[in-house]
Structure 1
Amino acid sequence: MASSASLSSARHVLLTGLPGSGKTTLIQKTCEELEKQGYVLHGFITEEVRHFGRRKGFDVVSIDGQLRAPLARIDGHGHDSEAGPLNRPDPYRLGQYIVQVESFEQTALPLLHASNTGITVIDEIGKMESISRAFQQAVRSRMDDPRSVVLGTIPVKKGKPVHLIEQIYERKDVRIITVTKKNRDCLLDEIITAVKEATAEHIP
């Protein structure tokens, strides 16, 4: 299911859906296929961090897998042996998570500014990430740049509105594809085609 921009005018392709619907997996598969076809991508995805099978937080990971940094941890997980010590105290809390704004900005922002053109991957434009005003500015910059195509994820409209997310839903140059557990296995080709069409039309 797609909404917002008409298919011909869409410059950005965003996936939305409930947590666990498969948005990040589809982003990863799309990136893999586009890279095989010679497209250059930069940006990041968000991965769950689990400990003994239980989620303890989220990391941001560069598309090439070379960079990783903590985005958020459940309060009490103050140290991650893989990601290194977390910056504490940190006043940014969202539910049970403490959002590690500084480490997120240090890793994610350079990835978003890695190129002035091409495909920028942003998984996710969410409430945690949007705590960072610098991230909000970077997202707007990428989406307003006529030489840039954004492939990303965005949460469903639920709970207290986040201004950046509300703005993105209202943009006329965004194609939003809803992912569910029922349709996620049928969407890959549609997403790849949408990104390739946007790239052909909007990137010199």
Structure 2
Amino acid sequence: MNRLWTLIWPENLDAAAALLVALAVTVYAVLGGTKVEYISAAMLLNLSLIAFGLMKDRVARSKQQQSLDIIIGSQKILPADRFFKSKSPEDDVIRSAHSSINMIQETGSLVTEHSQAGIIDFMNRAGSLKLVVSSPSPLPALNLAFRNENLQNDSSILKRADLFLSQMSYISQKVGPRSENITVRYSEYDIGYTSTVSDGRHPSFVSKGIVRIAGFRIPFAKKLDFEIDSEFSPKVVSHFCDEFDTLFESCSKFILLIGSPRSGKTTIVNRLIDQFRSSNQHVYSVVSRETMREGERIGFEIVINGDEGSSRPFARRKEGALKDISDILNYDFETAVWDEIADEVRRESKSGKIIILDEIGEMQISSARFKDTINDLLNDSASTVIATISAASNPFLQSVKEHHRTNIVKLSEANRDAVMDSLSREMAASMRRASFLNGQAQ
């Protein structure tokens, strides 16, 4: 009896009272001594006791959860089931972006399809979008297919890669010249997660992101993901920003250096060539330079891999042309020279070399074969090109700048050192990539 009383008092007193009232009313009703109003009153009393019990239970549960949170907080442990989610949409991150969005995706087709409207709206607000996607070359595509559920070969992955390209083409058409701020790079690395991060490291905005674990043969709906933001988890955001930057630099790439005449584009290109001359087995460089006579420009020539003995003249100033006018109409061109260069560039790129071009300009594209080579390099996910490009208003040059693979770098006197440092990191990463892909890693 004492044990029964211990169980009832005080935690379960309300439940015991409800049971006693219900039992008493039932017995009284069976004996025929009750009236309807008494039964109704008893039922209302019982319901009140039950409601009181439920409220007390909720308060108790809340106190227990608060105590648990205090314990978890003191131990710096967050249960995984409270940390991970699934099917979290990238749309919220894209809508929140102010200045930049960085994405790591598998083929990219899913996010560019489902979040297409958000991406277009963001680009029209003068944002910058960078995407790293898996290379559609055979081995990465096969590895990606093997990791995904219900895929027997790489054909589905390659179809998704093609779909991604058509979607990027549509996005570029919608945003027009702002597509210069879109850069897609391809990675041979089999990435173990995907991510979308907005405004990474921006001093004025809260950076937000979704990181999704790829998993092995896990359907998309069951893949685990988690949210990050720089307000509550700045170290985690910084980590994934660093990860993105390193991966971005290590991908195939097509960098275009733009600047006004005499801004130092050729100087930077020559410094890059000199800096990595010891690894020139991975580089093929073509530099256009002035030919001078008695301090006056008389034409242009090209130099291959910094070798003075390789110089080939390709333009000569016309007789009677004004000396202080540099318009291309004042020059006669040897387009055959650029036809030869186009074939050499195409061959060296196919062999895995990094192509450095100074410059892609109106003189160079007077060769139809050179234009075709530039288009082929743009559409070859494995090619790596660092080039200067003319600021001239030309439809072909503009189409090159707006291509989804190109990364526009604008050079000025104020940022010259920063640009040089950035391109040095890009070259070092590309050298390492070329070394690994050619089986010569140290």
What TM-score do the two structures reach when normalised by structure 1? 0.78
| Structure 2 residue 183 is the aligned partner of structure 1 residue 5 | yes
Whether contact under 8 Å (1:4, 1:169) holds in the other structure is no
For 1:2-151, what aligned pairs fall within 5 Å after superposition? 3-5=181-183, 8=248, 11-36=253-278, 40-65=282-307, 66-76=309-319, 94-106=328-340, 108-115=341-348, 116=350, 117-151=352-386
Letter in 2 for 1:141: D
CA change 1:199–1:142 in 2 (3 A) is farther
Deviation at 1:25? 1.1
Deviation at 1:140? 1.6
Deviations 1:158-193 (A, max 9, x none): 44x232x11211122221111123332342111111
Deviation at 1:62? 0.4
Report the secondary structure of 2:276's partner residue.
helix
CA RMSD, 1 decimal? 2.7
Query: Would you tell me which structure has more helix in proportion to its own residues?
Result: 2
Deviations 1:81-110 (A, max 9, x none): xxxxxxxxxxxx93211122123323x224
Whether contact under 8 Å (1:49, 1:56) holds in the other structure is yes
Whether contact under 8 Å (1:10, 1:172) holds in the other structure is no
CA change 1:196–1:112 in 2 (3 A) is same
Counterpart CA distance in 1 for 2:260 and 2:379 is: 27
Of 413, 419, 424, which residue of structure 2 is paired with 1:187? 419
Deviation at 1:73? 1.2
Counterpart CA distance in 2 for 1:201 and 1:63 is: 20
- Misfit runs of 4+, over 6 Å: none
Find the counterpart in structure 2 of residue 174 from structure 1: 406
Find the counterpart in structure 2 of residue 80 from structure 1: none
Deviation at 1:113? 2.8
CA change 1:10–1:180 in 2 (3 A) is farther
Counterpart CA distance in 2 for 1:171 and 1:105 is: 23
Whether contact under 8 Å (2:354, 2:430) holds in the other structure is no
Counterpart CA distance in 1 for 2:430 and 2:405 is: 10
Deviations 1:35-68 (A, max 9, x none): 3356611130111111111111111110141411
Counterpart CA distance in 2 for 1:201 and 1:68 is: 29
CA change 1:3–1:191 in 2 (3 A) is farther
What TM-score do the two structures reach when normalised by structure 2? 0.38
Q: Which runs of 5+ in 2 are unaligned?
A: 1-179, 185-244, 321-326, 438-442
Deviations 1:122-164 (A, max 9, x none): 11111110111000111122232222200111112x44x232x
Structure whose CA Rg is larger: 2
Counterpart CA distance in 1 for 2:279 and 2:433 is: 17
Letter in 1 for 2:342: L
Whether contact under 8 Å (1:72, 1:99) holds in the other structure is yes
Deviation at 1:69? 1.1
